[in-house]
Amino acid sequence: MKIVHFSDPHAGGGAEDWMAYFDKRWVGVFNYRFRRRFRHDLSKLEKAAEYIMTVRPDVAVCTGDLTSAGQPGEFERVRRILAPLRDAGIPLIYMPGNHDCYVKRPWCVKAMKDMTACLNGDGVVFDAFPLRRRIAGAEFLLLNTSRPSNLLCSWGFLIKEDSRKIVSWCGEEKTMPRILVSHYPMTENHPILRIRHRLFGQKEVLRQVLDEKIDLVLCGHVHRPYFRYRPDGRVFECCAGSVTRNGSLVEIDCPDGKNFNFRTVEL
């Protein structure tokens, strides 16, 4: 089994309607105009798509933040780049990030939900998360941790009902590698310093990871890629970082259905 994991393209642009100046979108637009557009190069996402088309993995996983402010035009720019992967028959998993779920404006929510259905295919709808998908001999647990938050924060929340469902699934016998897909990491080295950016409510799910009922977490949100290791040296959490900032993605092989090998690919 081969997985290609990428995250956080952060396509951006200007305000797409006048109401953007009266909700949180103005923060995302301002950030993109004066900071993010100088750091994130969307052509690197195009290179990532070309690479995935060339190697044809068993599944490609995107852990969110396709956009900067969750606006329909931003989603459309990314759709044009990633739709060929879906059309080529490469299974694709996309979990929206906090910037994709930026505000509650109906047209922004619709754009996010349409993108979720478009990229995931197979009848996957946002409102049905968490979901289980079995692809290429692995069980993927798709967990939404992204919801609109206040003006100054980028934190995420795992609601109790979703946590209970993940714990319930993990109580079943594991017959194949079990991989959790979430925008937010399950771990945080600096929970106080990063309180505005961290995930809350993940304690029980993290326990399933540490108890090896979940073999691997694929996540984004943090723009610098990293790996978290178990005491025996095996990776249990892989953050792909931002594909458009770092120009890289992660290729994961599982040749024996048990052990994972990781390779960072520079685009």
Range 24-27 contact pairs with CB under 8 angstroms and sequence separation of 24 or more:
24/69, 24/102, 24/103, 24/148, 24/150, 24/151, 25/69, 25/70, 25/71, 25/102, 25/103, 25/105, 25/108, 27/69, 27/151
Looking at the predicted structure, is the pLDDT value of residue 256 above 90?
A: no
- Please state which of the four CATH numbers 3.30.390.50, 3.40.50.620, 1.10.10.10, 3.60.21.10 is assigned to the domain occupying 2-266: 3.60.21.10
Higher-confidence position of 152 and 265: 265
pLDDT in tens, 89-133: 999 999 999 999 999 999 999 999 999 999 999 899 999 999 999
* Cβ neighbours of residue 125 closer than 8 Å, sequence gap 6 or more: 113, 116, 117
| Tokens 């998908």 -> residue | 133
The reported pLDDT for the residue numbered 257 is 80
Average pLDDT over the chain reads 96
Of 48, 90, 53, 50, the closest CA to residue 66 belongs to: 48
Tokens coding 119 = 């990229």
CA gap 23, 134 in Å, rounded: 38
CA-to-CA distance for 213 and 169, rounded, in angstroms? 9
Q: Is the pLDDT of residue 65 over 90?
A: yes
For residue 27, give both structure tokens. 């923060």
What percentage of the chain exceeds 70 in pLDDT? 100
